[in-house]
Amino acid sequence: DTEVTQTPKHLVMGMTNKKSLKCEQHMGHRAMYWYKQKAKKPPELMFVYSYEKLSINESVPSRFSPECPNSSLLNLHLHALQPEDSALYLCASSQETGATYEQYFGPGTRLTVT
Amino acid sequence: LAKTTQPISMDSYEGQEVNITCSHNNIATNDYITWYQQFPSQGPRFIIQGYKTKVTNEVASLFIPADRKSSTLSLPRVSLSDTAVYYCLGARGGDIFGTGTRLKVLA
């Protein structure tokens, strides 16, 4: 199984809502990633988890809160978002962090903040 | 932090070979060059990776000169289904995406 799944596929939320994005992989990968992608732009790295510990936070605002409950799951908790946070949120995993490891991406969650 | 630059867009016809070049002038000694393909509303998909010289797989070839300041992704005999955005990554462990090249394959 080389699949990364993400739920939900689409999410519409108000600026005062709290919601969560979920990501799951069963490939035994020990590195997991969150990316944000705006239309016609490349994915931008947000967070990297290595062995369930946060290893990289690319200066992401605190209204985005990542969580890695176990080696297969990655969550992104959302609170008090702004309309400019509307984007495609991509989750990825790789065997380990580092240049030689291929990342497997999920299909993404299309988030709209109203 | 090393960054990559690529042409913004390219057009090609079915059956032609397409070469997309990526510039990574400040690539670090331990950085690999990785290419991903992305279709609309989907996550990127790994195509190929290399460190130096030439790498070939069933999908593409990757040419990297000795100075490693650039690389060229070669797609043989493209089809309409190869229309996508192609990203070159060559920085800090392969998690920094370049600007991407929008390839449009025409019939």
- pLDDT level of residue B31 (50, 70, 90 thresholds): confident
pLDDT value, residue A64: 97
Dig out the tokens for B47 from the structure: 């195509």
Closest approach of B17 to chain A, Cα-based (Å): 24
Chain A CB within 8 Å of residue B94 CB: yes
The string of DSSP letters for A16-78 reads T-EEEEEEEE-S--SEEEEEEE-TTS--EEEEEEETTEEEEE-S--TTEEEEEEETTEEEEEE
User: Given B36, B43, B95, which is nearest A107 (Cβ)?
Assistant: B43
pLDDT value, residue B91: 61
Query: Is the Cα dihedral A21, A26, A27, A28 positive or negative?
Result: positive
pLDDT value, residue B3: 74
Q: In three state form, how does the secondary structure of B3-23 look? A: CCECCCEEEEECCCCEEEEEE
In the stretch 30-89 of chain B, residues with CB closer than 8 A to chain A read 30-32, 34, 36, 41-46, 49, 87
Closest approach of B14 to chain A, Cα-based (Å): 24
Q: What is the mean pLDDT of chain B?
A: 90
For chain A, 114 residues long, the average pLDDT of each consecutive 10-residue run is 91 94 96 95 94 92 96 96 97 88 94 96
CB atoms under 10 Å from CB of A55, counted, come to 11
Does residue B61 surpass a pLDDT of 90? yes
Residues of B in contact with A49 (CB under 8 A): none
- Mutate one of B95, B96, B97, B104 to test the A interface: name it (highest A CB count within 10 A): B95
Does residue B1 surpass a pLDDT of 70? no
Residues of A with CB under 8 A from a CB of B: 4, 33, 42-45, 48, 56, 88, 90, 92, 97-108, 110
pLDDT value, residue B15: 97
User: Given B32, B34, B44, which is nearest A43 (Cβ)?
Assistant: B44
Which residues pair with residue A14 across a beta bridge? Answer: none
In a 13 Å sphere around the CA of B18, the CA atoms on its Cβ side amount to 26
Residue A92: its H or E element: strand A87-94
Does residue B51 surpass a pLDDT of 60? yes
Does residue B95 surpass a pLDDT of 80? no
Proportion of chain B above pLDDT 90, given as a percent: 70
pLDDT value, residue B2: 54
CB contact under 8 A, A43 and B97: yes
Residue A105: its H or E element: strand A104-105
